[in-house]
């Protein structure tokens, strides 16, 4: 039995059926989450990107909490002999609707980048992009759908679709400004932010933990916001 795929340049978005119904005793929020059906999005990219995507697959699944499958080469049967049409491969993303949308934007940006930027930051901020077991960097990528690479301390390389890259650049510049200002928070907020941040980074203890704890309070608050900017589906991972 064969499956007919959409025509070249088109995509198919479907939903998987969730057969198990939530128990009437489940809390309303849990019932709503269980009722959510995973979104399936299939689309094509140039075949020449296949090896790059195979290398990126674990990262895409880790950052965006989706299932990422490289289905294979698009069937070009019927094209005229000697056609110069670029061969394409099918990709499939399965997961929460928002996660799938963000992951697709990220994958498209890897395969066909519209913008590349380089951002500099004070070396003392390197703990943000390397510490907490990479969680802040992962959240920055997920929040913006831009590829963010750390070639060396003090330098970031941004790549992807135009809007995601600009968003990532703006977010990084905001971190730098808060770091340089060394601004404290109002006295009614600062203790709670410090406690929450300390607990958060100590749960992900690594060699950068002490440096993270020395960051200005206003920057800590911003990083906590970034870390918790995921959908309800993923907050359990924090």
Instruction: Identify the CA nearest to 113 among candidates 71, 37, 52.
Output: 52
For residue 1, is it within any domain? no
For residue 62, is it within any domain? yes
Q: Under 8 Å CB-to-CB from 51, ≥6 apart: which residues?
A: none
Residue 203 has pLDDT above 50, yes or no: yes
* Residue range(s) defining the domain that contains residue 215: 115-231
Q: Mark whether 54 and 153 lie in a shared domain.
A: no
Among 59, 90, 111, residue at a domain's last position: 111
Q: Mark whether 101 and 140 lie in a shared domain.
A: no
Q: Mark whether 129 and 154 lie in a shared domain.
A: yes
Q: Mark whether 213 and 127 lie in a shared domain.
A: yes
Q: Mark whether 79 and 143 lie in a shared domain.
A: no
For 56-60, 125-129, 142-146, 234-238, which range has the lowest pLDDT when averaged over its residues?
234-238
Domain total in the chain: 2
Q: What average pLDDT does the segment 114-140 reach?
A: 97
For residue 236, what pLDDT band results from cuts at 50, 70 and 90?
A: very low
For residue 28, what pLDDT band results from cuts at 50, 70 and 90?
A: low
Q: What average pLDDT does the segment 86-112 reach?
A: 96
For residue 238, is it within any domain? no
pLDDT of residue 151: 97
For residue 3, is it within any domain? no
For residue 237, is it within any domain? no
Q: Mark whether 94 and 157 lie in a shared domain.
A: no
Q: Mark whether 124 and 225 lie in a shared domain.
A: yes
Q: Mark whether 121 and 214 lie in a shared domain.
A: yes
Q: Mark whether 107 and 174 lie in a shared domain.
A: no
Q: What is the pLDDT of residues 29-85, one digit of tens each?
A: 445 555 578 999 999 999 999 999 999 999 999 999 999 999 988 766 555 445 546
pLDDT of residue 73: 86
Q: Mark whether 81 and 181 lie in a shared domain.
A: no
For residue 218, is it within any domain? yes
Among 78, 93, 111, residue at a domain's last position: 111
Q: State the CATH number of the domain containing residue 184.
A: 3.30.1370.10
- Report the C-alpha gap between 52 and 167 in whole angstroms: 24
For residue 236, is it within any domain? no
Q: Mark whether 161 and 79 lie in a shared domain.
A: no
pLDDT of residue 76: 60
Please state, for a pLDDT cut of 70, what percent of the chain lies above it. 76
pLDDT of residue 81: 46
| DSSP-assigned states of every residue in 52-98 | HHHHHHHHHHHHH--EEEEEEE---TTPPTT--PPPEEEEEEEE-HH
Q: What is the pTM of this model?
A: 0.79
Q: What average pLDDT does the segment 90-110 reach?
A: 97
Matching residue, tokens 């019927």 = 78
pLDDT of residue 8: 42
Q: Residue 51, exposed/middle/buried by CB under 10 A (0-12, 13-18, 19+)?
A: exposed
For residue 178, is it within any domain? yes
Q: What average pLDDT does the segment 170-189 reach?
A: 95
Q: Mark whether 152 and 47 lie in a shared domain.
A: no
Among 70, 86, 111, residue at a domain's last position: 111
Q: What average pLDDT does the segment 85-102 reach?
A: 93
């Amino acid at each position: 039995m064969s499956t007919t795929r959409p025509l070249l340049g088109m995509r198919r978005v479907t939903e998987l059926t969730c057969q198990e119904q939530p128990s009437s005793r489940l809390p309303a929020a849990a019932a709503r989450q269980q009722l959510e059906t995973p979104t399936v999005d299939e689309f094509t990219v140039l075949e020449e990107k296949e090896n790059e995507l195979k290398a990126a697959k674990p990262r895409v699944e880790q950052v965006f909490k989706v299932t990422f499958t490289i289905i294979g080469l698009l069937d070009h049967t019927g094209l005229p002999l000697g056609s110069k049409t670029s061969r394409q491969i099918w990709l499939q993303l399965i997961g929460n609707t928002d996660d799938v949308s963000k992951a697709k934007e990220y994958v498209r940006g890897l395969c066909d980048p519209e913008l590349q930027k380089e951002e500099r930051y004070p070396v003392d901020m390197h703990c943000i992009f390397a510490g907490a077991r990479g969680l802040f960097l992962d959240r920055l990528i997920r929040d913006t759908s831009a590829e963010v690479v750390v070639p060396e301390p003090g330098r970031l390389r941004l790549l992807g679709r135009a809007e995601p890259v600009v968003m990532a650049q703006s977010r990084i510049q905001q971190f730098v400004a808060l770091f340089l200002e060394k601004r404290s928070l109002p006295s009614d907020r600062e203790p709670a932010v410090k406690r929450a941040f300390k607990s958060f980074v100590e749960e992900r203890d690594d060699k950068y933990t002490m440096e993270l704890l020395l960051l200005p309070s206003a920057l800590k608050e911003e990083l906590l916001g970034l870390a918790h900017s995921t959908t309800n589906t993923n907050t359990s991972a924090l």
